[in-house]
Amino acid sequence: SYYLTQPPSMSVSPGQTASITCSGDNLDDEYVCWYRQEPGQSPVLVIFQDIKRPSGIPERISGSKSGNTATLTISGAQAVDEADYYCQAWGVTTVFFGGGTKLTVL
C-alpha cells in the first residue's frame, strides 16, 4: 500500500506562517493537490500540480515539493484559515489522500 503522511494537527499564531507537510515514498514521481475542508463542508481545492493556485485562492497560500515531501504554506495566517487540510496524489490508476492536518489559528 502507498501512504501519504501528514501531521495530525498544527497550530499557528495569527499573522505567522504555517507549513503543512505531506510525505510519500513515490511523491517525487506524482503530482500533489491540497484541499481545505471546514467543519461540515465539502473539501475545496487550494493547490494543484504541486504549486498552482485555482482562481480565488489568495497568494498567501502556496505549495511546493522537494523529493518525496510536499508542503502547503499559509503565510500571514488568519482565523479563516482554520480548517482541515488534505494532500492528495495521483497514481497511475489510483488516488491517494493523506490523513489530514487540523490547523488551528490561535
CB of 37 to another protein, least distance (A): 8
Asked whether 74 and 12 are in contact (CB, 8 A), the reply is yes
13-32 residues in contact with another protein (CB under 8 A) are 31
In the chain, which ranges are continuous DSSP H helix? none
Question: Rg of the Cα trace of the chain?
Answer: 13
Task: Return d(Cα 47, Cα 106) in angstroms, integer.
Answer: 24
Backbone angles phi, psi at 28, to 5 degrees: -70, -15
Q: Based on CB atoms, which residue is closest to another protein, 14 or 90?
A: 90
Binding mask 38-67 for another protein (x = CB under 8 A): ----xxxx--xx----x-------------
Residues in the chain, how many?
Answer: 106
Q: Is 97 in the site for another protein (CB under 8 A)?
A: yes
68-87 residues in contact with another protein (CB under 8 A) are 86
The site for another protein (CB under 8 A) is made up of 1, 31, 33, 35, 37, 42-45, 48-49, 54, 86, 88, 90, 93-100
